[in-house]
Amino acid sequence: GLCQQAAFMLSAARVDQCPVDDGLEVAFAGRSNAGKSSALNTLTHANLARTSKTPGRTQLLNFFRLDDRCRLVDLPGYGYAKVPIPLKQHWQHHLEAYLGSRRSLAGVVLLMDIRHPLTDFDRMMLDWADASGMPMHILLTKADKLAFGAAKNALLKVRREIHKGWGEGMSIQLFSAPKRQGVEEAHDVLARWLGL
């Protein structure tokens, strides 16, 4: 199935270290601890992204190869409490350079903890996607932390807020790594963006 052959390619500390900018890739973004590593592992059936990370590692863009043409990209998690300000500026500079220049970028998956949605970082990413016309799909992660009805309500509330603030173009779903909830829905989006 989709993503099953995913394999680590390389880590890039700067945009000029990224793989050749052809084919298509989908990037995963989110505040630190939003569940990005867990989601990547769940969606690829692989231990691609280590769930325990060090501040140093979070400064890297990690590329995973799906096939000759397609890649997934783990963008550095934002907001790591232990990262000093100069590192944060470094991070922002390279993230902006990547997002602003990458021609093969077909879409961005934004992960938000269902209990803490729409952080400043999330709003910045939504503004950027809106302004640049980049397709964006949102995973409300850790949906298993809420009861079914509460998770549904949170989904409706955040979806309404996003459609009001950033237009109808952005899609949003519930996701849980341990329950494997929302895997098929997320795969459908990746397949569409990557032409798989």
Residue 23 interacts with ligand GDP (CB under 6 A): yes or no: no
Please give the Cα distance from 4 to 93 (Å, whole number): 32
The label of the residue with tokens 């692989």 reads: 46
Assigned token pair, 173:
């779903």
Q: Using CB under 6 A as the criterion, what x/- string covers residues 96-135 for binding ligand GDP?
A: ----------------------------------------
Q: Residue 145 carries which side chain, given as an amino acid letter?
A: K
Least Å from the CB of residue 39 to ligand GDP = 7
Q: Does 141 bind ligand GDP (CB under 6 A)?
A: yes
Task: Give min distance, CB of 46 to ligand GDP, in A.
Answer: 14
Q: Tell which positions 30-59 bind ligand GDP, by CB under 6 A.
A: 30, 32-38, 51
Work out whether 2 is an interface residue with ligand GDP (CB under 6 A).
Answer: no
Closest distance to ligand GDP from the beta carbon of 150 (Å): 14
Q: Which residues of 37-76 are buried (b: 16+ CB within 10 A; e: fewer)?
A: bbbbbbbbebebbeeebebebbbbbbbbbbeeebbbbbbb
